[in-house]
Amino acid sequence: MIAPDAFRLNAYRVLRIPASASASDIQKAAANMRRASAHGTARTSDFDIPQLGDVPRSDADISAAVARLANPVQRITDRLFWFCQLPTPSGAQQVSSAMDPTGHDCVLRALFGAMEGGLDEAALAAWVDALRAWRALACDDDYWFLTLIYEDSGDFEAPATADEVEALRADAVRLAACPLILAARAAYAAGEKDTVRRVLAALSSLTNTGPWASVAIEELTNWESSECEVAARGNVAGFTRPRPAGRII
């Protein structure tokens, strides 16, 4: 499963900094990463969760990451999908840290782990577990209070407002599920109907995690229903695979 750019190009990932980074930390990291890039030492490593894909670190990529972290809504979104404590190299022991008092990083690792799988029964079970855990995180007041603390103490020119944080909180599970929905669409486009039906079954078990799941089920069901209708018309000329009217992503 390919990680969408929203995960691969996470600004904290590009700059290789923890989600708790302040405005000054961001500027220092950008300068350091530019030097590393110029010397050819900014390659993707275990610190970057390489299963998400290579990290582009040209000067333009670094500037884009800095600009993204200057925007309060983009900053808190990227923070949600990166680590409070930077990942350790493969094989190294992950030390429990007061930097992650809400257990966010463990839940994020489970989400990234689900992305490594395909869409078979076992992989979809991992997705269901990961998204249920993500829903629990979204309901955890302590995580969002910590986010506001990072905003208040980070010396950002434009800190995120409480309303912006609440809006992200309401959309958190849908955003986490985006790779799964995109993979289901790809399976549909490839004609893998059994795979799409397995995804629909998994989504049906997630309807209690927010309205996003019902919307996704409706979208995928409409695709299948539309194709069945076209097939039932036989050899009528001019019919092609329909495009859905609306999408959740």
**36-41 long-range contacts, Cβ below 8 Å, gap at least 24?**
37/62
Residue 87 tokens, joined:
């990942």
Q: Vertex 247, ends 243 and 249: CA angle to 5°? A: 135
Q: Look at residue 46 in the predicted model and tell me its pLDDT.
A: 82
- pLDDT band at residue 87 using 50, 70 and 90 as cut-offs: confident
Residue ranges per structural domain of the chain = 5-232
Report pTM: 0.86
Q: Give the Å distances, CA to CA, from 238 to 110, 188, 235.
A: 45, 20, 9
Amino acid at the residue 44 = T
Q: Look at residue 96 in the predicted model and tell me its pLDDT.
A: 53
Mean pLDDT across 155-173: 97
What is the percentage of the chain residues whose pLDDT exceeds 70? 84
Q: Look at residue 230 in the predicted model and tell me its pLDDT.
A: 39
Residue 220 has pLDDT above 80, yes or no: yes
**131-136 long-range contacts, Cβ below 8 Å, gap at least 24?**
131/173, 131/176, 131/177, 131/180, 131/206, 131/209, 132/206, 132/209, 133/107, 134/107, 134/172, 134/173, 134/176, 134/209, 135/173, 135/209, 135/210, 136/107
Report d(CA 213, CA 45) in Å as an integer: 34
147 compared with 44, residue with greater pLDDT: 147
Condensed to tens digits (0 to 9), the pLDDT of residues 3-51 reads: 888 899 999 999 999 999 999 999 999 999 999 999 888 888 888 999 8
Q: Look at residue 167 in the predicted model and tell me its pLDDT.
A: 98
- pLDDT band at residue 232 using 50, 70 and 90 as cut-offs: very low
- Count of all residues that appear for the chain in the document: 249
**Helix/strand/coil for 10:** coil
Q: Vertex 146, ends 33 and 139: CA angle to 5°? A: 115
Residue 226 has pLDDT above 80, yes or no: no
Report d(CA 206, CA 131) in Å as an integer: 8
Question: By mean pLDDT, which of 13-17, 150-154, 238-242 is the weakest?
Answer: 238-242
Is residue 227 within 8 A of residue 187, CB to CB? The reply is no
Condensed to tens digits (0 to 9), the pLDDT of residues 108-140 reads: 999 999 999 999 999 999 999 999 999 999 999
